[in-house]
Each structure stands twice: as structure tokens, then as C-alpha cells.
Amino acid sequence: MADMSMVNRGAGAGKPLAGGVALVTGGGRGIGKAIALRLAKLGAAVSICGRNEEPLMRTAQDLRVLGVRVHAQTADVTRPADIALLVESTEQDLGPITILVNNAGIGGFGPFQEKSEEEWDRVLNTNLKSVFLVSRAVAPSMIRRGGGDIINISSLAGKNTFAGGGIYCASKWGLQGLSGCMAEDLRGYGIRVSVICPGSVATEFSGRGPKDAERVLTAEDVAHAVGMVVVQGPQSFISEVHLRPVKKP
């Protein structure tokens, strides 16, 4: 938070994040891509990672068109070695990370009694453990510099339950708890931790069935919320955002 205020002070009105560096996990497509583009338009240099190289490179090119510095790297954010290399490479190429967006996530729906232990591990490792691992890797540098923003992309499934959502809801309810505790652990260092909880979003994400485009959010809606969080005044932080479509699904 402290270093972010210094970034803002030297930036033009149209580029409030100029001088900042954002790392967005799962940044090659969908919500992650929209967030990366939003932060770039606000002036931040952007690092993106993902498991699949092709969409990652396409998004990296779209970011470069905006005139910002970009780092793109394939990485599995459930693996500490991949994360360490990602953070090191990002800071070598772009500078200290001032914004971390933990966006990487997967679905996994169906009656819990029909799910395997492997499915449980895959969803919980991606949606919850990765947030712990990446945040733990980035936090020490933010602590040394006295500020930063960590934004965790959760879901309204982290506040509600529904049939077939056992594994997914467990991952997002866990993320809610982790995010709140992270905020308390880090606020004394000037680091803001926020969680954004969207409802259904029209992306390639494997959800519970077809979605009516007029009754769901867009990836850009989530990106707008992230932009709102990172440009707020230095004396406050938005701890939790709930996003819903105007028309009920």
C-alpha cells in the first residue's frame, strides 16, 4: 500500500498504476486475460502465467500493443519450483511486484459421492493451495518495501452452497477464510489483501451448464472490480467485493 501510493503520486491521471508491476496467474484467457489488460491500461507492467503456452503468448502480444512492459511464462502455480522461477523472472524483467492477482482456478462439479480423491486434490490445489504458495512467494518483497496489493479471485460459491458444488465450494470457502487471515497478517505492513466474489461469468470456464449471456457477468466486469480495488486511496482497502449480474440467472 505504501509503495503503491508512491507509484500513484508520480503517475498521470490516466495511468494511475504507472511504475507498478502486476502478476496475474491464469492470465492467458478469460477473467485473467481481462484483468491483465485492465491493469495494463491503467499503466502497470504486467506478468502473466498459465499452463498453456499458446493462449499465454496471444495475450502477451495483446498487452504489448498497449505499450507496457510484459513478461509471459508457462508455470503450474501448484508447484513451488515453478512459482519461485516465475517470481524471480518477473522481478528480473519488470521490477518488484506491487500487485498480485491470484486468478488461476478450475471447476469440478457433480455429486460429491461420485468424485475421486484425485479430482478433490486437483481442484483444491489449483483454487486454494496455489493462492497460499504464490502469495507466500511474493509477500516477503512487499513486506520489505512496505506495501502492495494482493487480490484473490474467489466466487459467490464461496458464500453459498448448491447441489453438485461440493469440491468447488470447498475450495472457494477455504479461499474466503485464507484471504481474510492474509489481510490481518499483512495489513500492518501496509499490504492490502482483497477478495473478489463474482457470480456466473461468461467465459470458457467449465461451469454447471450453458449460460444466458444476458444473465451472467463478463470477464471485463471482474477486471473492472480489480481496477477499482487497486486505485483506491492509500488509507483504505476494500476487503471483499460481491459481483452479480443485474438480471438474475
CA dihedral 19, 236, 32, 43 (to 10 degrees): -20
| Rounded mean pLDDT, 25-47 | 98
- Rounded CA separation 28/203 (Å): 12
Q: Report pTM.
A: 0.93
For residue 195, what are the β-bridge partners?
Answer: 152, 240
Three-state DSSP at 79 gives coil
Share of the chain above pLDDT 90, in %: 87
Report the alpha-carbon angle 87-108-127, nearest 5. Answer: 25
The two beta strands, 45-50 and 21-25, are parallel
- Rounded CA separation 225/103 (Å): 13
The two beta strands, 99-102 and 148-153, are parallel
| Rounded mean pLDDT, 42-53 | 98
Three-state DSSP at 115 gives coil
Confidence of residue 2 (pLDDT cuts 50, 70, 90): very low
| Rounded mean pLDDT, 115-130 | 98
Q: Identify the CATH number of the domain defined by range 2-202+210-235.
A: 3.40.50.720
* Of the candidate ranges 11-25, 177-191, 222-236, the one whose mean pLDDT is the lowest: 11-25
The yes-or-no verdict on residue 209 having pLDDT over 70 is no
Determine how many CB atoms are found less than 10 A away from the CB of residue 157: 25
Rg of the chain in Å (alpha carbons): 17
Kindly report the average pLDDT of the chain as a whole number. Answer: 92
Catalytic residue among 168, 171, 194, 229: 168
- Rounded CA separation 119/206 (Å): 14
Q: What is the pLDDT of residue 13?
A: 59
| Rounded mean pLDDT, 56-76 | 98
Does residue 168 have an active-site annotation?
yes
Confidence of residue 204 (pLDDT cuts 50, 70, 90): low
Q: What is the pLDDT of residue 5?
A: 43
Distance set, CA 211 to CA 200, 201, 205, 234 (Å): 8, 8, 11, 38
Cell of 228: 477499482
